[in-house]
Amino acid sequence: MRHFFTLLRAELWKLLINPSTYIAAFLFLLIMGFLFQLILLEYANDPKEESPSVTFFKLFFVPVFFMVPLLTMRSVAEERASGTIETLMTVPVTATEVILSKFCAGYIYYAALWAFTGSFHYLFFSFVQEDSIFDPYPIIGGYAYIAISGTLFLSLGIFASTMTRSQLIAGIVSFSLVFGFIVIGSYLDELALLWISQPAWVDQLAQHTDVIQHSRDFSSGIIDTRAIVLYASCSLAFLFLSILVLEYREGGA
């Protein structure tokens, strides 16, 4: 892992000097700001029990659907299309270093974007009536969930990107994987209605893969280790698969 930090630095530098990074960040914050404002308007009309922050985290999948493919589709596919993967894989770096550096650079950017949305909560709590109770735990839980689930979504995206040389295909595959994981994972028990008598294991599995439920749990302060294990193990598995694909296709050591 000697070159990991060199590669990571180069990846981050490429992100920093690329205008599309800023455009994507602007769009992300615009949409998130808009969503947050809609939530506040809703709350102004009709007071609710849970804090607006909790509702905000329930909508985490909206930006994930478009940000994750946008962020990751370039990573390996672009290098392959432009041919720079050949110069990269013929120097003493390993496929593991390449994949991990790309993943970490993407993750840092993703985390930074979400960190910016922290300002929404700050603004909100600095302008609410003084007698309202400030409860930081849903916010901490919500961001913890974003951080943990981010590893999986980005590793899905990186995996999609290592499979192809076309960024478009990488983007579509990445979207499908993320969409599949969130939507099918959350509604697995309902899909299981197709069975005449629902087997017990489907129910059990559906409980584990319910992404929406996980986000709800975390943002209401329940830190569930089962979810952490699921996201961490799945993201490691997909990163490992990405390394294998890169090694197979580009002959890395």
* Rounded distance between C-alpha atoms, residue 253 and residue 249, angstroms: 11
Residue with tokens 């059990």: 204
As a whole number of angstroms, the distance between CA 14 and CA 242 comes to 21
> Rounded to whole angstroms, how far apart are CA atoms 253 and 248?
10
The amino acid sitting at 199 is P
Using the minimum distance from each CB to other proteins, give the nearer residue, 40 or 93.
Answer: 93
How many other CB atoms are there within 10 angstroms of residue 218's CB atom? 27
In sign, the C-alpha dihedral spanning 10, 15, 17, 20 is: positive
Question: Which residue, 17 or 200, has its beta carbon nearer to other proteins?
Answer: 17
- CA 41-45-51 angle, 5° bins: 65
Q: Which residues bind other proteins (CB under 8 A)?
A: 2-3, 6-7, 10, 13-14, 17-18, 82-84, 86-87, 89-94, 250-253
Q: 83 or 118, CB closer to other proteins?
A: 83
CA distances from 210 to 33, 50, 74, 231, 249 (A): 26, 21, 29, 12, 34
Smallest distance, Å, CB 4 to other proteins? 11
Residue 199 phi/psi, 5-degree rounding, is -65, 150
- The CB-of-245 to other proteins minimum distance in angstroms stands at 15
| Closer residue to other proteins in complex, CB, 21/220 | 21
Residue 180 vs 251, nearer CB to other proteins:
251
**How far lies 75's CA from each of 81, 206, 244, in Å?**
11, 32, 16
From the CB of 113, what's the least distance to other proteins, in Å? 20
**Residue 64 CB, nearest approach to other proteins (Å):** 26
CB of 252 to other proteins, least distance (A): 8
Query: Cβ of residue 83: shortest distance to other proteins, in angstroms?
Result: 3
Q: Cβ closer to other proteins: 87 or 233?
A: 87
C-alpha–C-alpha distance, residues 40 and 141, integer Å: 20
